[in-house]
C-alpha cells in the first residue's frame, strides 16, 4: 500500500519554511499531495493560478518526483479521503501554534479514523519565516529582502508578477 500524505495550506506565497516541510515529507512518504486551499473567505495576494504555478515550478526545479500539487476547497479531511492519504502534514514554527494545530488534529482524527497528523518543523534557519511577513515585504516593495524567505524560483515568479 502506498503511503500518501496531504500537506494543506494557502501558500501565499510558498516559502523556504514550507519547502523544508515538503522535502522532509517527501523523504518520509511515498507520495505527498500539496493541497492548495481555495478559501472564499480569504483574499490572497497571489491568485490561485500564480500560487499553483509557483508550487509546480518549485517541485520541478527540486526534482521531487513524489510530490504533486492539487487545488481543493472544503475540509482537509475530504482531500485526505479523495487521495487515500494516511497522514496530514502540518508545519510548526512556534510552540504557540501547537495548541491550535493539536486541536485541529484531534478533530481530523475523529472525522478520519485512520488518519494521523504529522508535525514537521522547518530547518532552524527558516523557523522565523512566515508568508505574512513575506506579503508585508512585498506590499512595501522590499523585494531585495525576499531571497532569505523564498526559494529562487518563487522569488523569480514574485518579481515577475509584481513588476508586471
* CATH code (residue 48): 3.40.50.620
DSSP state, residue 66: T
Q: In the annotation, is 93 catalytic? A: yes
Catalytic residue among 25, 105, 131, 157: 131
Q: In the annotation, is 41 catalytic? A: no
Q: Any idea of the CA torsion for 149, 154, 159, 164, to the nearest 10 degrees?
A: -150
CA distance 148 to 150: 6
pLDDT of 95 reads: 67
DSSP state, residue 85: -
Cβ proximity of 156 and 127 under 8 Å: no
**Residue 92 is labelled as binding a ligand:** yes
Q: Does position 164 have pLDDT exceeding 90, yes or no? A: no
Q: Which residue has the cell 482537509?
A: 76
pLDDT of 10 reads: 96
**Residue 46 is labelled as binding a ligand:** no
Cα 90 off chain centre by: 8
Q: In the annotation, is 157 catalytic? A: no
Q: Does position 77 have pLDDT exceeding 80, yes or no? A: yes
CA distances from 43 to 40, 61, 65 (A): 8, 28, 31
**Residue 18 is labelled as binding a ligand:** yes
Catalytic residue among 23, 68, 93, 159: 93
pLDDT band at 152 (very low <50, low <70, confident <90, very high): very high
Q: In the annotation, is 131 catalytic? A: yes
Q: Which helix (H) or strand (E) holds 134?
A: helix 131-139
Domain region containing 122: 4-163
**Residue 41 is labelled as binding a ligand:** no
**Residue 129 is labelled as binding a ligand:** yes
Number of domains comprising the chain: 1
- The average pLDDT across 108-123 equals 85
Amino acid at each position: 500500500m502506498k503511503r500518501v500524505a496531504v500537506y494543506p495550506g494557502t501558500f501565499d506565497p510558498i516559502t523556504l519554511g514550507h519547502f523544508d516541510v515538503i522535502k522532509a515529507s517527501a523523504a518520509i512518504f511515498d507520495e505527498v499531495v500539496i493541497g492548495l486551499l481555495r478559501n472564499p473567505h480569504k483574499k490572497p495576494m497571489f491568485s490561485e493560478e500564480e500560487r499553483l504555478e509557483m508550487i509546480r515550478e518549485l517541485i520541478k526545479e527540486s526534482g521531487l518526483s513524489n510530490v504533486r500539487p492539487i487545488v481543493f476547497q472544503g475540509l482537509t479531511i475530504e482531500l485526505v479521503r479523495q487521495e487515500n492519504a494516511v497522514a496530514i502534514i502540518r508545519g510548526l514554527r512556534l510552540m504557540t501554534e501547537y495548541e491550535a494545530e493539536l486541536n485541529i488534529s484531534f478533530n481530523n482524527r475523529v472525522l478520519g479514523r485512520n488518519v494521523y497528523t504529522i508535525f514537521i518543523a522547518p530547518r532552524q534557519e527558516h523557523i522565523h519565516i512566515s508568508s505574512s511577513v513575506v506579503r508585508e515585504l512585498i506590499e512595501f516593495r522590499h523585494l531585495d529582502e525576499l531571497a532569505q524567505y523564498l526559494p529562487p524560483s518563487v522569488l523569480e515568479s514574485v518579481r515577475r508578477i509584481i513588476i508586471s
